[in-house]
Amino acid sequence: MRPARGSGSSVGDVNIIMLRNALFLGAVVFALAAAPAPSLAQDRLDPIAKKAKLGSRDRAEIAAEVADRAGRLAQVGTDPDLRSRARDRLIATARIKGATKEFLDVYSEACATELEPLTTREAFETGFDAVWVLVDLDHPRTAGALAAALKSAQAPTRLRAARGLQMLQKRIAADDKTCQVVCRALGEAGADEREETVLRVIYEAIDFGAEVKGGKLAEECARALNSILAGRVRRLKAGDRNETVDQPAVALAVRCFAGASEAQQKQLLANLTALLSHAVDRYFAADTAEGYLAALADVVKKTEAAIHDLMKASKGKPPNDTVAAAIGKSKNPKNEQPARTALKDLKTALQGDPWNIKFESSGPG
């Protein structure tokens, strides 16, 4: 006998209800599992970040927490999600609303201390992520760690480190000690750099704009440039074929010359003349493609003009005849004698007062 309508549930109805309950329960469990744990909702360092004054215990807690996070970053390997979380955990703290300047100084310095050793790790992901965090912290106390990252074997890591230093230029310039460390690191890195893109950014990072015209910054920039240019001359002589990449250095040499010491000034003139000599050699070399002659002629013109500017700044007189004019007037691109004569006259002038520069013999020029 069938039950009366509305007197109860059939077996089918019961099954449907049970299924709905099961689905609802599953949805709740999934939602709870997906929701962040309450302990992760707030950064552990949030209360400290907003303190008006940090004590020794606060500083110790910051150091311990950063060490733990940096350790996690070093362990996540190549998994993109884990890498992103590890980076964000370090970066987000510097974005805490209401964080004090003292906290940001201490936190950034702690990050620099813990991440610097990771920047040169052989594993690409580890070094790159460490530099990523340092750059995103956007704080001058990371400059030393970014400078150390220029020694990474990985070109993308070196590139990001150099760009990070460029972004910090104005704040680096305000601290003589930091500026010295950064400039010398950039000089050493640029002297050995093989990747053209990285070298270009290194030149940009050394260029502190109008501030290089005087004072200690001009001396450090000149020293860094001389280190790079000496290395570049060696590499070009060894077979590198990217002469145009050094034009930013030529322009910067003119700006920092007046504020540099006499020793650095002489070295700038010597290095620029070596670059000019190499460009002339390449212009007249039998294996130089005709399509590259115009680019080399431009290198000759700009480098020689810079040398003349520096000679005038030293109260000296450059020769009347120029290498650039000799190349420009020659109807035969391979008629090198007028250009060689002009180059010799330039070197002869620089060998006299007030420069007294000694040039090594390097071929026809």
How far is residue 135's CA from residue 162's CA, in Å, rounded to a whole number? Answer: 10
The helix-helix angle for 124-137 and 56-75 (nearest 10°) equals 140
> What average pLDDT does this structure show over 208-230?
87
Mean pLDDT, the chain, rounded, equals 88
What b-and-e string marks burial along 286-306, b requiring 16 or more CB atoms within 10 Å of the CB? eebeeeebeebbebbbbbbeb
Residue ranges per structural domain of the chain: 45-167, 210-365
Tens digits of residue pLDDT in 237-253 = 999 999 999 999 999 99
Residue 96 confidence class, pLDDT cut points 50, 70, 90: very high
Whether 334 has a pLDDT exceeding 70, the answer reads yes
Q: What are phi and psi of 337, to 5 degrees?
A: -60, -45
Percentage of the chain surpassing pLDDT 70?
86
Tens digits of residue pLDDT in 304-333 = 999 999 999 999 999 999 999 999 887 677
Residue 111, SS3 per DSSP: helix
Angstrom CA distances, 146 to 112, 166, 248, stand at: 8, 10, 22
**CATH 1.25.40 assigned to 45-167:** yes
| Token digits of residue 134 | 């340092």
Whether 148 has a pLDDT exceeding 90, the answer reads yes
Tens digits of residue pLDDT in 264-297 = 999 999 999 999 999 999 999 999 999 999 999 9
Tens digits of residue pLDDT in 189-199 = 999 999 999 99
> What average pLDDT does this structure show over 343-364?
87
